[in-house]
Amino acid sequence: MKAPKSQQVRRLEAVIGLEVHVQLSTASKIFCSCPARLPATVSVSEIEANSHVCPICTGHPGTLPVLNRKVVEFAIQAGLATQCAINPKSLLARKNYFYPDLPKGYQISQYDEPMCRNGVLGIQLPNGEEKRVRIHRIHIEEDAGKSIHYSGFSVLNLNRAGVPLVEIVSEPDMASPAEAGAYLRELHSVVTFLGISDGNMEEGNFRCDANVSVREPGAELGTRVEIKNVNSFKFIEKAIEFEVLRQSEVLRSGGTVIQETRSFDSFRGTTVPMRSKEEAEDYRYFPDPDLIPIYVDGDWIEELKKRLPELPQQRRGRYVATYGLSAYDAGLLTSSREIAEFYDQVMEVLKKSTVDAELTQSAKTAANWVCGEVLRMLNETGQTLQTSKLTPHHLAELVRLLQLQQISSTGAKQIFGKVWETGKSVSEVIQGEGLVQISDPAVLKPIIDKIIAAFPGQVAEYRSGKDKLIGFFVGQVMKETQGKANPTLVNEWVRQALSSG
């Protein structure tokens, strides 16, 4: 069907819940010793098919699964980070269905006794407000393999079979595509800050199903539609947006929404019904007789609690409270652990060289640089902070010199570019390029006098009330000094010279 035109449809209230599958970064698979994690430099597609398999993960008869302790720990950490209650006893269950990429004929998952329940995740909305989304449950399970279909035949790659996942299921607490996007981004930050997943969405290591329904405000819940397997923040928002409009249109025109599973067509920006064989049937769940229950005691939970890092929401709070950053900047800085840690390291260096009264200003300048130039260069070059030549000391030195007005902001950008390229220190680059800012009145005042003498017409206009011409004179001085003059001082001295002449 065609995408409904948003301007024609009065949208109804949306009710959205998300189920997120997160691939855990354990060294080995969930029930065998096959490698689950690939070296960071190798992508899944580059590994030879069926090279990371054994009789257990390929479901040979007579083999027995052994649960990976690390998977349980990672799930507990996900639960603690989202304020869930950790179940002292949970069960592994068989979810029975037939599909060629599932060699056992069932997936080992959890059903009525998941590891974690009843949590909450604080999210930051695009307008900077915080909202709480309740977490219904978190359970562990194994991934299936992958079928690749060609014309006339299909092939199987079981490298992914038995790779550990946690599924994090929210309550239907989100009311717009933007809220769903914010929740997903927050959850992504949480699992990557915890270090339990690399969160690589392109590889499908963080993927999302969305349950979407619409209703008249205040009415009972409508029939929900499930959108399967979306692995981009942008696509999930688009898929939900389309679905809300589609359902609104169906109901407005007197129809009924059918309960079904749909997939997102990213090319057309629409959702389409999935083939019925992929729809949920009766899975006949029952506890797996090959695996004993998982028992988690209080000591274990306490030990894992101690190992929790500072999470994105706490960091945002700290940045706002101690550095006076805006909620927006704090949100950008905590969008990835790498960025947040880099910023903290820059601030550690700055704290040693900055008096307390100036620290807030330094913190804001540093945040602007990290959220601006640093993120821009990372995006442009495809590098990470680990692979780039930029160090926290580089940025701290740059911020310090800006603060002392020894370099101009234009000069700082040039210096930053050179530092990024060469890895040289800021002072080395400044000496090499002659980029020190001129603040010396003995140099600048004669230049200002010269400019004023050269433009008598503009001087007369300024004096007759055309204040805006100040910019013209400052511009001329900057031109004369090849951008090296301190613009604040030039502005002040040009005004003085013009009013005293």
Counting contacts by CB under 5 A, is residue 296 touching Zn ion? Answer: no
Which part of the chain contacts Zn ion (CB under 5 A), choosing from 26-34, 98-106, 143-151, 452-460? 26-34
Indicate which single residue of 38, 49, 54, 320 sits in contact with Zn ion (rule: CB under 5 A): 54
Which part of the chain contacts Zn ion (CB under 5 A), choosing from 25-33, 224-232, 334-342, 352-360? 25-33
- Shortest distance in whole angstroms from residue 396 CB to Zn ion: 47
Q: Please say which residue, 55 or 126, places its beta carbon nearer to Zn ion.
A: 55
What values do phi and psi take at 493, rounded to 5? -75, -35
Q: Please say which residue, 68 or 365, places its beta carbon nearer to Zn ion.
A: 68
At 280 the three-state DSSP class reads coil
Which part of the chain contacts Zn ion (CB under 5 A), choosing from 55-63, 213-221, 409-417, 434-442? 55-63
Which residues 147-186 are close enough to bind Zn ion by CB under 5 A?
none
Q: Please say which residue, 158 or 459, places its beta carbon nearer to Zn ion.
A: 158
User: Rounded to 5 degrees, what angle do the CA atoms 177, 179, 182 make?
Assistant: 110
- Shortest distance in whole angstroms from residue 100 CB to Zn ion: 18
- Shortest distance in whole angstroms from residue 23 CB to Zn ion: 16
- Shortest distance in whole angstroms from residue 426 CB to Zn ion: 51
Q: Please say which residue, 28 or 365, places its beta carbon nearer to Zn ion.
A: 28
CB 371 within 8 A of CB 321: no
Which part of the chain contacts Zn ion (CB under 5 A), choosing from 52-60, 178-186, 269-277, 387-395? 52-60
- Shortest distance in whole angstroms from residue 58 CB to Zn ion: 7
The conformational region for residue 218 under phi > 0 = left, psi -120 to 50 = alpha, else beta, is left
Which residues 432-461 are close enough to bind Zn ion by CB under 5 A?
none
- Shortest distance in whole angstroms from residue 55 CB to Zn ion: 7
CB 138 within 8 A of CB 82: yes
At 220 the three-state DSSP class reads coil
- Shortest distance in whole angstroms from residue 105 CB to Zn ion: 17
Counting contacts by CB under 5 A, is residue 71 touching Zn ion? Answer: no
Which part of the chain contacts Zn ion (CB under 5 A), choosing from 53-61, 91-99, 315-323, 479-487? 53-61
Counting contacts by CB under 5 A, is residue 32 touching Zn ion? Answer: yes
Cα–Cα dist 395/399, whole Å: 6
Which part of the chain contacts Zn ion (CB under 5 A), choosing from 29-37, 110-118, 246-254, 302-310? 29-37
CB 211 within 8 A of CB 172: yes
Indicate which single residue of 9, 14, 22, 57 sits in contact with Zn ion (rule: CB under 5 A): 57
DSSP one-letter string for 103-147: TTSEEEE--SS-SEEEEEEEEE-TTS-EEEEEEEEEEEEE---EE
Quote the crossing angle between the two packed helices 392-403 and 409-422, to the nearest 10°.
Answer: 160
CB 300 within 8 A of CB 80: no
CB 251 within 8 A of CB 226: no
- Shortest distance in whole angstroms from residue 54 CB to Zn ion: 3
Q: Please say which residue, 159 or 247, places its beta carbon nearer to Zn ion.
A: 159
Which part of the chain contacts Zn ion (CB under 5 A), choosing from 51-59, 93-101, 268-276, 340-348? 51-59
At 495 the three-state DSSP class reads helix
Counting contacts by CB under 5 A, is residue 34 touching Zn ion? Answer: yes
- Shortest distance in whole angstroms from residue 146 CB to Zn ion: 15
What is the total count of residues that contact Zn ion (CB under 5 A)?
5
Q: Please say which residue, 60 or 305, places its beta carbon nearer to Zn ion.
A: 60
Residue 321, both tokens:
């409270």
- Contacts for 428-435: CB closer than 8 Å, 24+ residues apart: 430/401, 434/484, 435/407, 435/411, 435/484
Q: Please say which residue, 52 or 246, places its beta carbon nearer to Zn ion.
A: 52
Counting contacts by CB under 5 A, is residue 144 touching Zn ion? Answer: no
- Shortest distance in whole angstroms from residue 27 CB to Zn ion: 13
Residue 487, both tokens:
């613009």
Which part of the chain contacts Zn ion (CB under 5 A), choosing from 31-39, 81-89, 195-203, 365-373? 31-39
- The label of the residue with tokens 């049937």 reads 281
Nearest to 243 by CA among 258, 231, 253, 232: 258
At 485 the three-state DSSP class reads strand
* Buried b or exposed e, range 203-236, using 16+ CB within 10 angstroms: bebbbbbbbbbbbeeeeeebebbbbbebbbbebb
* Buried b or exposed e, range 353-364, using 16+ CB within 10 angstroms: ebeeeebeebbb
Q: Please say which residue, 55 or 446, places its beta carbon nearer to Zn ion.
A: 55
List interacting residues with Zn ion (CB under 5 A).
Answer: 32, 34, 54, 56-57
